[in-house]
Amino acid sequence: MENKHSFFKWKPEYNSGIKPIDEQHQKLVQYIADLYCAVYEGNGAASIYKIIDGLVEYTETHFWFEEDLIEKAGYPDIEEHKKIHKAFVEKISAFQQKSEKKLPITFQLVQFLKDWLVDHILGDDRKYIPYVEKMPKR
Ligand SMILES: [Fe+2]
């Protein structure tokens, strides 16, 4: 889906300088932007939950990659970072379960996803950058 709304667009300040991380974060932004479009356009629950399923799956893949990377980089606060990831996955997985009950997905949810991701990228994810930059090869 085209990112035609200005709700959530990638900004240069989101860049970490770690290429795979930035690419994966951009993909997460796209999922949330797509979800916004689908909700805005009043798409059916099936197509909305298809995006949520994709978002949950991709988020898990991204977190695995990131946790593996920061572990290899010797990031000292990895356990705390893993906990933050886990809590987010649990939260978005709970949205998936709403699917079975056919509960509507609201703008509040989409806003929550955006706020969480931006805060995480600009906050917690910033902390491991120096460690990854110091890795001999990546
Ligand atoms: Fe992270």
Please list the rounded mean pLDDT of every run of 10 residues in the chain (138 residues): 77 97 98 93 86 95 98 97 97 78 76 97 98 85
* Alpha carbon of residue 54 to chain centroid: 11
**How many whole angstroms from 102 Cα to the centroid of ligand 1?**
30
**How many whole angstroms from 41 Cα to the centroid of ligand 1?**
30
**How many whole angstroms from 101 Cα to the centroid of ligand 1?**
30
Helix axes 124-133, 45-72, angle to 10 degrees: 40
Taking alpha carbons only, the member of 2, 40, 17 closest to residue 128 is 17
Instruction: Give the model's pLDDT for residue 70.
Output: 98
**How many whole angstroms from 106 Cα to the centroid of ligand 1?**
25
The CATH number assigned to the domain with range 18-133 reads 1.20.120.50
Instruction: Give the model's pLDDT for residue 136.
Output: 82
User: pTM of the full predicted structure?
Assistant: 0.92
**How many whole angstroms from 27 Cα to the centroid of ligand 1?**
14
Instruction: Give the model's pLDDT for residue 99.
Output: 61
